[in-house]
Amino acid sequence: MNPYLAPGLILVVLLTVAIGAYGLRFARTTSDFLVASRSVSPSWNAAAISGEYLSAASFLGVAGLVLRYGVDVLWYPVGFAAGYLALLLFVAAPLRRSGAFTLPDFCEVRLRSTALRRLATAFVLFIGCLYMLPQLQGAGLTFATLTGGSYAWGALVVAVVVTANVAFGGMRAITFVQAFQYWLKLTALAVPMIFLILQWQSDGRPQVTPPAGAVFHAATTVVVEQDAVLDGTRRVEAGETLRFEAGDPVPQVSTVDAEFGADWLLPDGETSLFATYSLILATFLGTMGLPHVLVRFYTNPDGASARRTTLVVLAMVGLFYLLPTMYGVLGRIYTPQLLMTGSSDAVVLLLPEAALGDGHLGRLLGALVTAGALAAFLSTSSGLLTSVAGVIFTDVLRPGRNGSIRDFRVATLLAASVPTLLALYVSDMDVSRVVGLAFAVAASSFCPLLVLGIWWRRLTDVGAIAGLVAGGGAAMAAVLVTVLGPPLTGWVAEVVNQPAAWTVPLAFLVMVGVSLLSGRRVPPDVGATMLRLHAPESLRG
Amino acid sequence: MAVDESPPRPRVRVVLADAAARRVAADHGSADLAEQTPVGEALVKGLVRAQLALALRLALVVAAGLGTLPLLFAVAPAVGEVKVFGMHLPWVLLGLLSFPFLVLVGAAYVRWAERNEQDFAALIRRPEK
Return the percent helix, strand and coil in chain A, to nearest 5: 75, 5, 20
- Structure confidence at residue B27 (pLDDT): 52
Separation of alpha carbons B47 and B114, rounded Å = 11
Residues 6+ apart with CB under 8 A from A335: A67, A347, A350, A351, A354
Measure CA A360 to chain center: 32
Is A215 in a helix, a strand, or coil? strand
Contact A74 B73 (CB under 8 A): no
User: pLDDT band at residue B25, thresholds of 50, 70 and 90?
Assistant: very low
Are A94 and A531 spatial neighbours (Cβ–Cβ below 8 Å)? no
Q: Which helix (H) or strand (E) holds A236?
A: strand A234-236
Are A539 and A302 spatial neighbours (Cβ–Cβ below 8 Å)? no
List, in order of start, the domains of chain A with CATH numbers.
Answer: 5-214+250-260+290-427 (1.20.1730.10)
Return the percent helix, strand and coil in chain B, to nearest 5: 75, 5, 20
Are A423 and A133 spatial neighbours (Cβ–Cβ below 8 Å)? yes
Residues of chain A with pLDDT under 50: 32-34, 37
> Taking CB atoms and an 8 Å cutoff, what residues of chain A touch B105?
85
Phi, psi of A256 (to 5 degrees): -105, 125
Percent above pLDDT 70 for chain B: 69
Could you tell me if residue A232 is left (phi over 0), alpha (psi between -120 and 50 degrees) or otherwise beta?
Answer: left
Cβ burial B19-58 (10 Å sphere, 16+ → b, else e): eeebeeebbbbbebbeeeeeebbebbeebbebbbebbeeb
Contact A538 B66 (CB under 8 A): no
**pLDDT tens across A55-103, in order?**
888 888 899 889 988 888 899 999 999 999 999 999 999 999 988 878 8
- Structure confidence at residue A61 (pLDDT): 86
Q: Which of B51, B56, B83 to mutate to test the interface with A (most CBs of A within 10 A)?
A: B51
- Structure confidence at residue A341 (pLDDT): 80
Query: A275-279 long-range contacts, Cβ below 8 Å, gap at least 24?
Result: A275/A494, A275/A497, A275/A498, A276/A72, A276/A75, A276/B70, A277/A501, A277/B70, A278/A440, A278/A498, A278/A499, A278/A500, A278/A501, A279/A75, A279/A76, A279/A79, A279/A436, A279/A498, A279/A500
> Taking CB atoms and an 8 Å cutoff, what residues of chain A touch B91?
71, 74
Number of cross-chain residue pairs from A and B with Cβ atoms under 8 Å apart: 121
User: pLDDT band at residue B49, thresholds of 50, 70 and 90?
Assistant: very high
Separation of alpha carbons A478 and A459, rounded Å = 26
Helix axes A431-455, A273-286, angle to 10 degrees: 60
Q: Stretch B81-103: mean pLDDT, rounded?
A: 90
- Give the amino acid at A470: A
Closest Cα to residue B6, out of B20, B30, B25, B33? B25
> Taking CB atoms and an 8 Å cutoff, what residues of chain A touch B115?
none
Are B73 and B80 spatial neighbours (Cβ–Cβ below 8 Å)? yes
Could you tell me if residue A400 is left (phi over 0), alpha (psi between -120 and 50 degrees) or otherwise beta?
Answer: left
Are A243 and A219 spatial neighbours (Cβ–Cβ below 8 Å)? yes
Could you tell me if residue A118 is left (phi over 0), alpha (psi between -120 and 50 degrees) or otherwise beta?
Answer: alpha
Contact A539 B102 (CB under 8 A): no
Nearest chain A residue to B83, by CA: A266
Could you count the other beta carbons within 10 Å of the beta carbon of residue A369? 26
Residue B127 pLDDT > 70: no
Nearest chain A residue to B38, by CA: A527
Q: For the complex shown, is ipTM > 0.85?
A: yes
3-state secondary structure string, A72-140?
A: HHHHHHHHHHHHHHHHHHHCHHHHHHHCCCCHHHHHHHHHCCHHHHHHHHHHHHHHHHHHHHHHHHHHH
Contact B33 A90 (CB under 8 A): no
Q: What angle do CA A27, A31, A35 make, to 5 degrees?
A: 90
Contact A455 B30 (CB under 8 A): no
Residues 6+ apart with CB under 8 A from A421: none
Nearest to A455 among B41, B48, B67 (CB): B48
> Taking CB atoms and an 8 Å cutoff, what residues of chain A touch B47?
534-535
Task: Work out the minimum CA distance from B10 to partner chain A, whole angstroms.
Answer: 30
Nearest to A277 among B62, B70, B98 (CB): B70
Nearest chain B residue to A266, by CA: B80
Q: Give start and end residues of each alpha helix (H) in A392-470.
A: 405-425, 431-455, 461-467
Are A162 and A378 spatial neighbours (Cβ–Cβ below 8 Å)? yes
- Structure confidence at residue A183 (pLDDT): 93
Separation of alpha carbons A288 and A291, rounded Å = 8
Task: Between A31 and B18, name the one with better pLDDT.
Answer: A31
Nearest to B102 among A81, A527, A528 (CB): A81
> Taking CB atoms and an 8 Å cutoff, what residues of chain A touch B50?
none
Half-sphere exposure of A37 (CA within 13 A, CB side): 11
Q: Which helix (H) or strand (E) holds A242?
A: strand A241-244
Q: How far apart are the first and last CA of chain B?
A: 14
Q: Which of A49, A54, A62, A71 to mutate to test the interface with B (most CBs of B within 10 A)?
A: A71
Separation of alpha carbons B100 and B94, rounded Å = 11
Contact B70 A273 (CB under 8 A): yes
Helix axes A151-202, A5-24, angle to 10 degrees: 110
Contact B74 A266 (CB under 8 A): no
Residues 6+ apart with CB under 8 A from A51: A177, A178, A179, A180, A181, A182, A183, A185, A375, A379
> Taking CB atoms and an 8 Å cutoff, what residues of chain A touch B71?
273
Task: Work out the minimum CA distance from B102 to partner chain A, whole angstroms.
Answer: 7
Closest Cα to residue A125, out of A449, A403, A478, A384? A384
Structural domain boundaries in chain B: 16-125
Strand partners, A215: A249
**Residue B67 DSSP class:** I
Dihedral of CA atoms A439, A440, A446, A447 in degrees, nearest 10, equals: 90
Nearest to B73 among A267, A319, A530 (CB): A267
Q: What angle do CA B17, B23, B28 make, to 5 degrees?
A: 145
Nearest chain A residue to B112, by CA: A89
- Structure confidence at residue B93 (pLDDT): 92
